[in-house]
Structure 1
Amino acid sequence: MEARLQKVLSEFGIASRREAEEMIRRSRVRINGVVAQLGQKVDPQKDKITVDGQLVSARDRPTLVYVLLNKPLGVVSTCDDPQGRKTVLDLLPPDLRQGYGIHPVGRLDVNSTGALILTNDGELTFRLTHPRHSIPKTYQVLVKGHPPKAVLEEWRQGVLLDGRKTRPAQVSLLESLAENTRLEIILQEGKNRQIRRVAEQLGYPVIKLHRSAIGSIELQKSQKPCLREGKYRFLQDDEIRCLQNQTKHIPIKDSAELRSVKKHEMANKKDR
């Protein structure tokens, strides 16, 4: 059965869908000896697909793996780092990081800690990082100073960031310390460094930021010890199903499909 090339590459664990698109743009992928085009459809059972000269076969499709990691401070949420810093993959055993082609889903910045999912499931990765996903993420945040109720309410209602208002957030006061305040913040979106930027804009910069849960997937499960910093565990079947169910409403459209839709919409506008 034919499918878009970037979808096939993600399903085979070669790369995430966005990474596969970039590989195609760089002419690293060929179909039956011819340089592939973004959005091209292929039949993996009939077509010869190569990446950097290496044949990709349906037999290479890996077992899907889902991992929860407690990311430590100073570790970057990428597969490799040009600056030579330790990455989240360095925290996994060699057979897991090399044999399955897993990658982090989204990011925690280098100065943040906590829950991070890694997988080789390209479809789930695409859905979880899609702007329309609404899986809540829970953070424990230490901010400088003591934000008053009015500021916390402003944060809850949404704050202008890059010209757009953030989605409403759940912001709860956990503890008021001598010079700082501990908050719990639950977001249903993931703009780049959103909590840090909003806190800075409101005048109460972040001192520490820790993500404790992604949806119902928690670093500390009931009646079990917390997943220690730098350690990982495999997700349970019910946790995987929960992620899949919460994202199944999101349409899978890669950039090639989105461009096609936009061109069609523009053509319709011109005809009016």
Structure 2
Amino acid sequence: MEIRLQKIIADAGLASRREAERWILEGKVQVNNKVVTQLGSLADPREDRIKVSGKLIPKKQDEVYIVLNKPTGCLTTMADDKRGRTTVMEYVKVTKARVFPVGRLDYNTQGVLLFTNNGSLAKKLLLPKYKVERTYKVKVSGIPNEKTLKRLMRGVHIKDEKFKPIDAKIQKTSGKNCFLIMTLVEGKNRHIKKVCEHIGHPVIKLQRTHFGGLNLTGLPLGACRFLSPKEVKALKKLVADEPKSTRPAKKK
């Protein structure tokens, strides 16, 4: 089936549709060895040879969605580690499709990690504007008081970096430490660890229990499974509508 060229490029995870349109106008896109510069041009991602800047886009595959219960002690990367450490790709060999992780979990963080070959959806799920929730079970040093938890709910600044509000509740105490349930809508590098360190309660153990409605029910550590059609539909629905801008309109 023929679809717009810029959508094919975006779905391959190479760029946004707007950037893909710019590439087309700049003459960087070829279909069956012919340069295409007309916006709205159609192509068949399963049959046509499509190149961007001379590099061939792999022909469209069926969409694949896998959720992994990532164990600790492995890297979230598609490349082999130079130091020989295990990567998450070792745990998702249930498909021959070229899937990639949506976002990342740190080396010693475990829990829900989504894989797909749908680049367009993956990018949207990670954009803060869509407010896709991630929930973590966090064991921290000490027991934060109510005032400290409210600081997280207002959002915090660490040096020049701003962190959006985090919903944080104490699940249970464990001696002098406790477990927090923390829900957020963005995923910066070492996000939870930075924030907890900032409020004086360093992370001892970290597990992501939910991502965009996906959870760990029935999924042992290190195991993965394909998403059901219902789960895929729910993920797509999370980012189906463009969020309304909360910025005030400019005065004329």
User: So what's the TM-score if we normalise by structure 1?
Assistant: 0.73
Matched, 1:143 2:143: no
Residue of structure 2 in register with 1:269 after alignment:
none
Give secondary structure in 1 for the equivalent of 2:68.
strand
Give secondary structure in 1 for the equivalent of 2:232.
helix
Cα separation, 2, equivalents of 1:56 and 1:159: 41
Residue of structure 1 in register with 2:90 after alignment:
90
Shift in alpha-carbon separation, 1:155–1:53, aligned structure 2, 3 A: closer
Cα separation, 2, equivalents of 1:209 and 1:138: 11
Cα separation, 2, equivalents of 1:122 and 1:74: 26
Residue of structure 2 in register with 1:250 after alignment:
242
Matched, 1:241 2:233: yes
Shift in alpha-carbon separation, 1:55–1:177, aligned structure 2, 3 A: closer
Deviation at 1:179, TM superposition (A): 2.7
Deviation at 1:31, TM superposition (A): 5.2
- Deviating more after overlay: 203-212 vs 46-55: 46-55
The count of corresponding residues between Structure 1 and Structure 2 is: 234
Residue of structure 2 in register with 1:75 after alignment:
74
Cα separation, 1, equivalents of 2:189 and 2:61: 31
Q: Tell me the amino acid that sits aligned with residue 85 of structure 1.
A: R
Residue of structure 1 in register with 2:247 after alignment:
none
Is this contact kept in 2: 1:133–1:189, CA < 8 A? no
Matched, 1:232 2:224: yes
14, 17, 20: which one pairs with 2:14? 17
Question: What is the root-mean-square deviation of aligned Cα atoms in Å?
Answer: 3.4
Residue of structure 2 in register with 1:168 after alignment:
165
Residue of structure 1 in register with 2:214 after alignment:
217
Give secondary structure in 2 for the equivalent of 1:207.
strand
Q: Of Structure 1 and Structure 2, which has the larger fraction of its residues in helix?
A: 1
Matched ranges for 1:91-240 at <5 A: 91-93=91-93, 96=95, 99-161=96-158, 163-220=160-217, 226-240=218-232
Cα deviation code 1:200-248 (max 9, x no counterpart):
111111011100111322112xxxxx31111011112221111111111
Unaligned runs of 5+ in 2: 244-251
Cα separation, 1, equivalents of 2:104 and 2:144: 27
Shift in alpha-carbon separation, 1:29–1:75, aligned structure 2, 3 A: farther
Q: Tell me the amino acid that sits aligned with residue 244 of structure 1.
A: K
Cα separation, 2, equivalents of 1:250 and 1:108: 27
User: So what's the TM-score if we normalise by structure 2?
Assistant: 0.78
Unaligned runs of 5+ in 1: 221-225, 252-271
Shift in alpha-carbon separation, 1:56–1:184, aligned structure 2, 3 A: closer
Give secondary structure in 2 for the equivalent of 1:152.
helix
Is this contact kept in 2: 1:105–1:119, CA < 8 A? yes
Q: Tell me the amino acid that sits aligned with residue 226 of structure 2.
A: F
Residue of structure 1 in register with 2:246 after alignment:
none
Is this contact kept in 2: 1:17–1:126, CA < 8 A? no
Residue of structure 2 in register with 1:262 after alignment:
none
Q: Tell me the amino acid that sits aligned with residue 164 of structure 2.
A: R
